[in-house]
Structure 1
Amino acid sequence: MDIAIVTGASSGLGAAFVEAIVSRYRNLDEIWIIARREQRLRALADRYDDSHMRIRVIPLDLAASESYEKLTELLKEMQPNIRILINNAGYEREGLLREMNPGDIRAIINLNVTAMTMVNRTCLPYMQRGSFAIITGSVSSFAPIPWQAAYAASKAYVRSLARALHEEERERGVNVMLFSPGNMNTEMNVRGAASGKLARLPYLDLHQETAKALSKAERGCAEYTPLAFYKLYHAFAKLVPTALAVRITSLESGGAGRR
């Protein structure tokens, strides 16, 4: 059985990936959609009742360690061939670290670091030559960001992990690609909700960029950063000293989101 798995699928970027996969990969048997909000997942699955493939709803809170055990057991039982993995679940919170709710800090680490790592560990054994994974990073990983310190640091971990996995899996023909988006119209980053520097940054077209990300991952790309603005920012972050970069990237407004 050939499947795709999408985590953080209940809204935003994850839901856009589901739409793109349904449209693009007609030879898949199922798409497994994973998030903590079961009602949202079922509403998403209902959109594709008349489509050519089954959408399997798997409500799991990936912030909880037992969720990996449940996913592991399901994979052992079904023994699927994972053709596509979209490792997308994440959490964002901005503000001074000393003032942040400890629960928000733990959620950033649990989802962006632990869950991102363990989903890869759980799914990679079921992927074979020609399969690919897309790991959702962020342009926030390019440099340290004051007032977004924990989130940016978590995405720096994701960047390092994804690039290492790309090399680990390359010889057996499984591609792992880092996708580093900027501003998006999602629950995590709603247009108009951001203020200051964030509000002035360009927003991505989710439908266009998910299709591009899938195409690039198919071709074996190691990394995709959309839009010239964010590509230039990446180059800037590589070239300038960190002491200068953090003064430029500093944020002084806060917000929260989880997918």
Structure 2
Amino acid sequence: MDIAIITGSSSGLGREFARHIANRYQQLDEIWLIARRRERLKALASELASSTHAAFRVVPLDLADSSNYGGLGELLADAKPVIRVLVNNAGYEREGLLRDMEPDDMLAMIDLNVKGMTMINRTCLPYMSRGSFEIVTGSVSAFAPMPWQAVYGASKAYVRSLVFAIREEERRRGVNIMLLSPGNMDTEMNVRGSGGGKIGMLPYLNLARTVERSLSLAERGCGEYTPLMFYKAYRLAAKLVPATVMARFTRLDSGGTNGRGL
């Protein structure tokens, strides 16, 4: 049985991935939708049912909760599928001065962005084989230290490092792992115009175009995709300029605490 798995699929980028995957990969037998919100997943599955012959499996899990990894592992062990497409997308973001942030928000970012992303890989990679691919959602916030977004940026820097390491581990098996590093997106986690300071002035991505391009590149074995020339230039600058200097320019000064989990 060939399947796709999309985490963080109840809204935003994950939801867009689900739409495109349902239309693009008609050979799939099942598409597994994973997020916290069961009703949203059921509504999405119902919406997409007519666009593919694949069955949808709604898997409501909070991936910030370590006790849920075993449940997903048991589902996979029972179904014994081949995961052809994995979108490791669930994430959580908050902004603000670290000294003022709620400890629960800081821990939630670490639990979901670091632990959840890591354990989805550990749980799913054994079920992937030659020709399979994974897209992991990182962030341009990983390119350089981000004052007022320190924990989120650091969590995505971990994602970036891990993805490049396991990409090399899986390369000989014929499994491609690609890091998607998006900038601003008009989603629940980052509503257009809601960002304070500099972040609200940065360019926003077209979600459909970003997802379509991401799938195309991952199919072809690409290892990293940063949409838009503006963010590509920022990635290059972060490589050339010392981190302590970059931090002076990347500071958000928003003082906000916007952000949502998927």
Q: Same fold (TM over 0.5)?
A: yes
- 1:62 is matched with which residue? 63
- Pairing 1:228-239 to 2, within 5 Å after superposition: 228-239=229-240
Contact 2:33 2:56 in 1 (8 A): yes
- 2:105 is matched with which residue? 104
Q: Which amino acid aligns with 1:132?
A: F
User: How many angstroms does 1:118 deviate by?
Assistant: 0.2
User: How many angstroms does 1:142 deviate by?
Assistant: 0.1
More moved, 45-54 vs 97-106: 45-54
Q: Is there any run of 5+ residues in structure 1 with no aligned partner, and where?
A: none
Following the alignment from structure 2 to structure 1, what is the Cα–Cα distance between the partners of residues 183 and 26? 29
- Pairing 1:1-259 to 2, within 5 Å after superposition: 1-51=1-51, 52-253=53-254, 254=256, 255-259=258-262
Contact 2:82 2:128 in 1 (8 A): yes
Q: TM-score, normalised by structure 1?
A: 0.99
User: Once superposed, what is the RMSD of the aligned Cα atoms?
Assistant: 0.7
Cα deviation code 1:91-114 (max 9, x no counterpart): 000001111000001100000000
User: How many angstroms does 1:49 deviate by?
Assistant: 2.6
Q: Which amino acid aligns with 1:2?
A: D
User: Secondary structure of the equivalent of 2:260?
Assistant: strand
Q: TM-score, normalised by structure 2?
A: 0.98
Following the alignment from structure 1 to structure 2, what is the Cα–Cα distance between the partners of residues 105 and 247? 22
Cα deviation code 1:32-80 (max 9, x no counterpart): 0000010111111110232322111000010111110000000000000
User: Secondary structure of the equivalent of 1:129?
Assistant: coil
Following the alignment from structure 1 to structure 2, what is the Cα–Cα distance between the partners of residues 257 and 201? 19
Q: Which amino acid aligns with 1:78?
A: A
Q: Which amino acid aligns with 2:5?
A: I
Q: Which amino acid aligns with 1:177?
A: M
Following the alignment from structure 1 to structure 2, what is the Cα–Cα distance between the partners of residues 140 and 119? 21
Following the alignment from structure 1 to structure 2, what is the Cα–Cα distance between the partners of residues 48 and 207? 15
Following the alignment from structure 1 to structure 2, what is the Cα–Cα distance between the partners of residues 258 and 58? 16
Following the alignment from structure 1 to structure 2, what is the Cα–Cα distance between the partners of residues 145 and 226? 19
User: How many angstroms does 1:131 deviate by?
Assistant: 0.1
Following the alignment from structure 1 to structure 2, what is the Cα–Cα distance between the partners of residues 65 and 195? 33
Q: Which amino acid aligns with 2:29?
A: D
Contact 2:196 2:252 in 1 (8 A): no
User: Secondary structure of the equivalent of 2:135?
Assistant: strand
Following the alignment from structure 1 to structure 2, what is the Cα–Cα distance between the partners of residues 166 and 8? 21
Q: Which amino acid aligns with 1:235?
A: L
User: Secondary structure of the equivalent of 1:6?
Assistant: strand
User: Secondary structure of the equivalent of 2:204?
Assistant: coil
User: How many angstroms does 1:244 deviate by?
Assistant: 1.2
Q: Is there any run of 5+ residues in structure 2 with no aligned partner, and where?
A: none
Following the alignment from structure 2 to structure 1, what is the Cα–Cα distance between the partners of residues 246 and 49? 48
User: How many angstroms does 1:242 deviate by?
Assistant: 1.3
User: Secondary structure of the equivalent of 2:108?
Assistant: helix
Following the alignment from structure 2 to structure 1, what is the Cα–Cα distance between the partners of residues 148 and 81? 42
Following the alignment from structure 1 to structure 2, what is the Cα–Cα distance between the partners of residues 256 and 173? 36
Following the alignment from structure 2 to structure 1, what is the Cα–Cα distance between the partners of residues 142 and 232? 13
Number of matched pairs: 259
Q: Which amino acid aligns with 1:211?
A: E
Following the alignment from structure 1 to structure 2, what is the Cα–Cα distance between the partners of residues 119 and 83? 15
User: How many angstroms does 1:23 deviate by?
Assistant: 1.2
Q: Which runs of 4+ in 1 moved over 6 A?
A: none
